[in-house]
Amino acid sequence: MESQAKALTRKRWFSLLCLLGVALATACRRPQTSADIHVHGPTVAPQLEFACCEYSIDETQKLFSDPSVIEALKQLHATVAIPTNDLSPQRADAVRLLNHHGIPVIAWIVLPREQGYYLTADNFPAAATRIADFNKWTRDNDLQWRAVGLDIEPNVAELSQLRGHRWRLAATLLRRSLNGARIRRAQKAYYSLVDQIRALGYPVQIYQMPYIPAERSAHSTLPDRLLGTVDVRGDEDYLMLYTNNVRAVGAGMIWSLGPQAWGIGIGDTDANGTPGTGTGPLDWNEFSRDLIVASHFTPHVGIYNLEGCVRQGFLPRLLTFDWSQTATIPAASVERARRLGIASRSTLWILSNLIYLLLAAIITVGWWWRHRRVRSLRS
């Protein structure tokens, strides 16, 4: 129950971060449109990668004990990303089972939940230890991995604790906004980890927050400084674009950010609530729409998560899915993103250049005051 409560808190924060990503990255990028956008599918199925097994090992064992799940994954030629939150014999058994059936597995590097779970700008020493422990666990259990993934996300637990203390939260964010060295130090450490993982023989996946493209475009690290994330590039970088968190924008988010992505992660199929409403999980219509829009831009589509797809009966439907169909994005969705972005991207630019703007203002006021004084003395 505790882990599910933490997951719910994380999803609420992720909703805000998705909105931030949409707002920052879509500003002024596309002209206003008065017509729906019709997106054509790729005809050929993309490479699907399912994330799974974040919770109890009992649920993991139950998931892969179902022969229909294993068979569907094989027929889809899908990849499965399994987190390393516990390096247990039972989790090793699950990986070996997938290895036995020829299903490629990604090592999704996360920390034990008591250490915060997700990688952040502040826990890179623990991440380095985790990589070493993971490598030993892999050798001891003779596990096979197609790649290793680093999941660098905000420290939502810390932010949630400060949410009820507005002045402490404001002071924390102000302090972070001025501490660029913290992000540079973390970025250097994570690139060192990327090199270590490559040296072990694995390609590196990076799971990126939706605002990362806007940061790069604006040459700013402000969101990273505030939220504790780090912009790191790997060999296979997935933008996490979960439209269930921003239904008002919907697939307009994927349409806006898709051209900048190597791979796109869609979801969430396993959120709390009623499918298709609020921040509940994607229903089939939303899920299939997002699949088409994402695969329009990239042949690499991640799905969060496998459990939700199994629970909602998506796997059998994926086996007969028509990848040549057309998905429709309402004009209102794109327009909402555009309007939100105009204000938000401007705000990012202003905040990122605030010191220079203040200096310019001080110089301007000083010049005006001196000019006025000179004129008064002459008169």
End-to-end CA distance of the chain: 79
Q: What CATH code is carried by the domain that includes residue 47?
A: 3.20.20
The pLDDT tens digits along the chain (379 residues) read 445 555 545 555 555 555 555 555 554 444 455 689 999 999 999 999 999 998 889 999 999 999 999 999 999 999 999 999 899 999 999 999 999 999 999 999 999 988 889 999 999 999 999 999 999 999 999 999 999 999 999 877 676 666 667 777 778 777 888 889 999 999 999 999 999 999 999 999 999 998 888 888 778 888 899 899 999 999 999 999 999 989 989 998 899 889 989 999 999 999 999 999 998 999 999 999 999 999 999 999 999 999 999 999 999 999 999 999 999 999 999 888 777 666 666 777 776 666 666 777 778 777 777 777 777 766 6
Q: Supply the DSSP string of 15-26, one letter for each residue.
A: HHHHHHHHHHHH
User: Which of 53, 44, 46 shows the shortest CA–CA distance to 80?
Assistant: 53
Q: Scan for tokens 């869609």, then name that residue.
A: 266
The residues facing 163 across adjacent strands are none
What pLDDT sits at residue 159? 65
Owning domain of residue 337: 2-27+35-378
What's the domain count of the chain?
1
* pLDDT confidence of residue 8: 47
Q: Which pLDDT tens digit goes with each residue over 222-233?
A: 889 989 999 999
| Residue 262 and residue 300 in contact, taking contact as beta carbons nearer than 8 Å | yes
Helical spans, DSSP H, in the chain: 2-26, 57-64, 67-75, 89-100, 124-141, 156-162, 166-177, 180-199, 212-218, 222-227, 252-257, 284-297, 306-311, 314-319, 331-352, 354-378
d(CA 293, CA 363): 49
* pLDDT value of residue 115: 87
Query: What global pTM score does this model have?
Result: 0.85
- Note the residue count of the chain: 379
3: nearest Cα among 58, 64, 63: 58
